[in-house]
């Protein structure tokens, strides 16, 4: 982890030294990008941006990750997502794909949650407030979410080849959840209550938030 932090610091230092080489326009029309925070934490986030006009681009984003162990009570074991967006570049002195932008987006995501519950897990499985004697559970849950929203951000160009963009914004998502019980020694309604307690976001319908930092190569 220390090596990764040092490499990121040195790379950002190089970009800051290249700031004077930044241009306000470029004839190149395509950018292939990698999401930096996602890569550091073990997931793959790829983007492709294409210039449409002097002020408009289209971008397609894709992410995928998988883990063998459960990263936490609210963390999925794996998932994928596709997010198309249109970017409107608003800086008068710059042409797309540079400068400040506003970007409406749609997103479709699927997440997988594996769970294991037993008396050894501090008695997490309850029925009417009492731990069921000898009960253990294992299985999985999956969620599908469709969302819509918008981000704002800024994209820089360094050395006429490297891009850096930062973005964030809110949205609204509609989600559904399916569960599969791997142990028949207890009733499904008990397991459902426990899954709802451990994974409250797998079935959540409501506000969502999207943010990221990406490095790219323009060509």
What is the CATH number for 191?
Answer: 2.40.160
pLDDT tens-digit profile of 142-169? 888 999 999 999 999 999 999 999 999 9
Domain annotation covers residue 18: no
Domain annotation covers residue 184: yes
In the predicted model, what is the mean pLDDT of residues 105-122? 71
Please answer whether residues 151 and 213 qualify as being in contact, where contact means their C-beta atoms are separated by less than 8 angstroms.
Answer: no
Q: Which residue shows structure tokens 């008068």? A: 92
How far is it, in rounded angstroms, from Cα 149 to Cα 208?
8
The total number of structural domains in the chain stands at 1
Structure tokens at 115: 């769970």
How far is it, in rounded angstroms, from Cα 214 to Cα 155?
9
pLDDT tens-digit profile of 50-97? 999 999 999 999 999 887 655 555 567 788 999 999 999 999 999 999
State residue 117 phi and psi, 5-degree precision. -130, 135
How far is it, in rounded angstroms, from Cα 158 to Cα 214?
13
Domain annotation covers residue 16: no
Domain annotation covers residue 30: yes
| Contacts (Cβ under 8 Å, ≥6 apart) of 36 | 8, 213, 214, 215
Q: Which residue has the higher pLDDT, 191 or 217?
A: 217
| Contacts (Cβ under 8 Å, ≥6 apart) of 83 | 60, 61, 62, 105, 106, 107, 108, 210
How far is it, in rounded angstroms, from Cα 141 to Cα 12?
40
State yes or no: pLDDT of 184 exceeds 60.
no
Instruction: State which residues form the domain around 83.
Output: 2-6+23-218
How far is it, in rounded angstroms, from Cα 193 to Cα 125?
9
Domain annotation covers residue 55: yes
pLDDT tens-digit profile of 2-11? 554 455 555 5
């Amino acid at each position: 982890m220390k090596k990764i932090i040092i490499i990121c610091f040195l790379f950002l230092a190089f970009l800051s030294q290249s700031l004077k080489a930044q241009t306000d326009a470029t004839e190149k029309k395509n950018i292939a990008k990698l999401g930096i925070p996602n890569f550091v934490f073990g997931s793959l986030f790829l983007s492709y941006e294409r210039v449409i006009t002097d002020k408009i681009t289209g971008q397609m984003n894709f992410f995928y990750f998988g883990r063998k162990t459960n990263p936490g009570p609210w963390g999925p074991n794996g998932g994928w997502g596709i997010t198309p967006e249109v970017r409107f570049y608003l800086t008068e002195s710059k042409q797309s794909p540079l400068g400040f932008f506003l970007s409406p987006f749609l997103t479709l995501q699927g997440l997988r949650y594996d769970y294991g519950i037993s008396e050894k897990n501090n008695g997490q499985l309850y029925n009417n407030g009492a731990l069921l004697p000898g009960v253990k559970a294992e299985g999985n849950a999956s969620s599908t979410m469709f969302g819509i929203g918008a981000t704002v951000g800024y994209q820089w160009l360094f050395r006429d080849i490297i891009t850096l963009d930062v973005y964030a914004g809110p949205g609204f998502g509609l989600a559904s959840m399916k569960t599969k019980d791997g142990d028949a020694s207890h009733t499904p309604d008990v397991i459902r209550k426990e899954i709802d307690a451990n994974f409250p976001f797998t079935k959540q319908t409501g506000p969502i938030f999207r943010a990221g930092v990406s490095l790219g190569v323009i060509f």
